[in-house]
Structure 1
Amino acid sequence: MNFQLSEEQSLLRDSVERTFARIYGFEARGRILGSAEGWSREVWVQMAELGLLGLPFAVDDGGFEGGPVETMIVMEAIGRALVVEPFLPCIVLAGTVLRAAAPALRAELVPQVASGALTLAFAHGEPQARWDRADVATSARRVPGGYRLRGRKSLVIAGGIASRLIVSARLDGARTDPAGLALFLLDPAAAGVTRAPFRTQDGRVAADVLLDDVFVADDHLLCAPGGAYALIATASDAAVAALCAEAVGAMDAALALTVDYLKTRTQFGVAIGTFQALQHRAADMFVALEQARSMALLATMALEEDDARERAAALSAAKVQIGRSGRFIGQQAVQLHGGIGMTMEYKVGHLFKRLTMIDKEFGDAEHHLARLADALAA
């Protein structure tokens, strides 16, 4: 199989990497994380001008009709530069749901998202659900002209800064029943919506969202029962593949920093990279990185798989390897750097933090290993 990028994809990769190298140095990232908002609207606009925010949307809706490979390219660059702007939650996750919305709603929202004027967040996870996609206790009841939503959503990435929330709620069925779910678009400033923003361990902005009898009009129903769970699964799968690509970028950066440190740090009058034991550990890091890279490619290709079960199995296999490789490379990078690897003033520790969080998002390695075993046994 040919894994070579096309000319257009290579140009996209080079353009994104050059842009992040220019505007997103480690010190600039630190200033962004230290700001009150925790992300940069200026960087977000520059990403829009580069065409990244409209990348996955159809041309007819105001986008550029990029596919999974284009998303992989962008996410790998985001991982390498440790970009904290909400490309994953807004463009990949919520954007996948928005692409399935009614044409009128897409025509209204997609140009605003692509320009950077409108940010989205996907409010689906709940405190009791852990990683069960069907476990939704938030309720929706039919009322004249729309619906009333009541419930709580937890750990909504970018939930504290989003202009609109895409919310899952249950119209009927038991709490873990895949049927009976629906997806709604709501304004976080609407009556009854309370957001409690906080920072995650890697510095990203998230929020818990409380819905207290929130009214949503009929024309803001994104997906009715019957198709909502499949759309949630599709969006989650797209996010998992994107996370795998981001992790590869972060691992690649961690390995590059470590090898450079081994070449420049001296002890007993020579560079420590000349010590064979340390060379072996760097080689093991490289092997782990290439294993992760190959599985990230598998995850990207799996998004084109029509069979949902086959797609889920491939993505779980990728997530297992990404989790294991990320942990190994992060641990080795920190240890080989010594004390400096533990400081907030050096990038490698931040890379390890992000890799640890990626392992936990949408299910850790152990969760996906069990999911993969169930899929293969079925």
Structure 2
Amino acid sequence: MAVLTEEQTMLRDMARDWASNESPVGAWRKIRNANEARGYDPAAYATMAEMGWTGVIIPEAQGGSDFGWLSLGLVVEELGKTLAASPIAASAAAASAILLGGSDAQRDAYLPRIASGELVATLAVDEGPRHDPEAITASVSGGKLTGTKAFVAEGDSAGLFVVAATDGLYLVEAGEGVTVDRRHLVDFRSHAQVTFDGASADKLADGGDGLRDAVLDRAAVLAAAEMLGMAGQSFDTTLAYLKQRVQFGQVLATFQALQHRMANLFTEIELMRSAVEAGLAAIDRGGDTRQAASLAKAKANEVGHLMSRELIQLHGGIGMTDEYDAGFYLKRMRVLEQMWGNTAYHRERFARLSGF
């Protein structure tokens, strides 16, 4: 477990209290039932912005707090525990592209608006059903971008897209030449197919593959941080259920076989925490983040899949019902597993980077 500063501890506790009291799972259920394309509550996101969470990784010169990626990961983890829906992770990943490769003019134009919560930004990279940043066909000619991006997270409400093209990353504002079509996934969050047809595109100053990989690393680790929060909450919920559920005249938690399963899950989640926090710390240190990011996402995928499956199984029949919250965690976890690379993708990438 990472050693937190006093300020980071306060930030984590603030996020935990707010998520528990102001955005519990019941709040997400209301959003799901409303079935709106944006998939989150704008008022809740405005509150997050007021608390400074939308500007955690943005420099003070552009209206942020420059508090680092580990600090942002703490917030995302706590929001994940209650399934609090927001574009905070998507906007942060998009903001990182501008931070790493943008000009001064691009930074001044967009980062203050992202930090204030006024502007929702997102990455538009993959063009097929699986994460494959090498399979890019979107292209730019004469400052106009043409191509289609599938399953763009927060695409329904985004005002700015960081788009991967054949020759680098481009900034494209929503509007003329940009068509957004809602895609329905099991987690009921915002996922859109975005078509660019001659949309005005502004290339990031440093827009090569190195920048793209660095940005995708940040997106992957933030997804892993959300999965960590969900896995931890799933464990706590399951343990509480086993302690009160009586079967065959005994509390389920007294069965040794179930104790062993829970002990194994606890160990796996702690390993997941170490990998995710190491990934966030690697981003804060700077330099090559590829191995740390792939390790974090691969472990998060593996443990998140296991914990969400056990969450359903150990709750028995009630875990399969919509009236219970377990299904929400399972569905969101399955979507996050695929975002920014599944387990096989990151295992192969880590091995390749390690020289195997």
TM-score normalized by structure 2? 0.94
Distance in 2 between the 1:364 and 1:247 partners? 13
Number of paired residues? Answer: 353
- Please report the RMSD computed on the Cα atoms of aligned residues, expressed in angstroms: 1.8
2:352 matched to which residue of 1? 374
2:163 matched to which residue of 1? 167
Runs (5+) with no aligned partner, structure 2: none
* Alpha-carbon shift at residue 221 of structure 1 (Å): 2.9
- Which of 156, 168, 171 lines up with 2:152 in the alignment? 156
Q: Residue type of the partner of 1:50?
A: M
Q: Name the SS of the counterpart of 1:223 in structure 2.
A: coil
Distance in 2 between the 1:119 and 1:149 partners? 20
Distance in 2 between the 1:317 and 1:120 partners? 26
1:175 matched to which residue of 2? none
Distance in 1 between the 2:107 and 2:290 partners? 27
* Alpha-carbon shift at residue 306 of structure 1 (Å): 4.9
* Alpha-carbon shift at residue 302 of structure 1 (Å): 2.3
* Alpha-carbon shift at residue 87 of structure 1 (Å): 1.2
Query: Which sits farther off after the overlay, 21-30 or 249-258?
Result: 21-30
* Alpha-carbon shift at residue 105 of structure 1 (Å): 2.7
Please tell me whether the aligned partners of residues 146 and 198 of structure 2 are also in contact (alpha carbons under 8 angstroms): yes
Distance in 2 between the 1:24 and 1:55 partners? 20
Q: Residue type of the partner of 2:200?
A: F
Distance in 1 between the 2:303 and 2:24 partners? 25
2:135 matched to which residue of 1? 135
Distance in 1 between the 2:185 and 2:280 partners? 26
Q: Residue type of the partner of 1:107?
A: D
Please tell me whether the aligned partners of residues 182 and 223 of structure 1 are also in contact (alpha carbons under 8 angstroms): no
Q: Residue type of the partner of 2:94?
A: A
Q: Residue type of the partner of 2:120?
A: T
* Alpha-carbon shift at residue 305 of structure 1 (Å): 5.4
* Alpha-carbon shift at residue 9 of structure 1 (Å): 0.3
Distance in 2 between the 1:288 and 1:134 partners? 32
Q: Residue type of the partner of 1:23?
A: E
1:10 matched to which residue of 2? 9
Residue 205 of structure 2 corresponds to residue 223 of structure 1: yes
* Alpha-carbon shift at residue 25 of structure 1 (Å): 1.5
- Which of 226, 251, 263 lines up with 1:271 in the alignment? 251
Q: Name the SS of the counterpart of 2:303 in structure 1.
A: helix
Larger radius of gyration: 1
Q: Residue type of the partner of 1:114?
A: A
- Which of 148, 155, 169 lines up with 1:183 in the alignment? 169
Distance in 2 between the 1:265 and 1:90 partners? 41
Distance 1:304 1:330, change over 3 A: same
1:95-130 C-alpha deviation (Å, 9 max, x unpaired): 1012232222322322222222111121121128x3
Residue 228 of structure 2 corresponds to residue 248 of structure 1: yes
1:6-26 C-alpha deviation (Å, 9 max, x unpaired): 000000001011111111112
Please tell me whether the aligned partners of residues 79 and 246 of structure 1 are also in contact (alpha carbons under 8 angstroms): yes
Distance in 2 between the 1:204 and 1:319 partners? 20
Q: Residue type of the partner of 1:241?
A: V
Q: Residue type of the partner of 1:77?
A: E
Query: Which sits farther off after the overlay, 67-76 or 351-360?
Result: 351-360
Q: Name the SS of the counterpart of 1:117 in structure 2.
A: coil
Distance in 1 between the 2:164 and 2:258 partners? 49
* Alpha-carbon shift at residue 186 of structure 1 (Å): 2.0
Distance in 1 between the 2:332 and 2:81 partners? 11
Distance in 2 between the 1:268 and 1:236 partners? 50
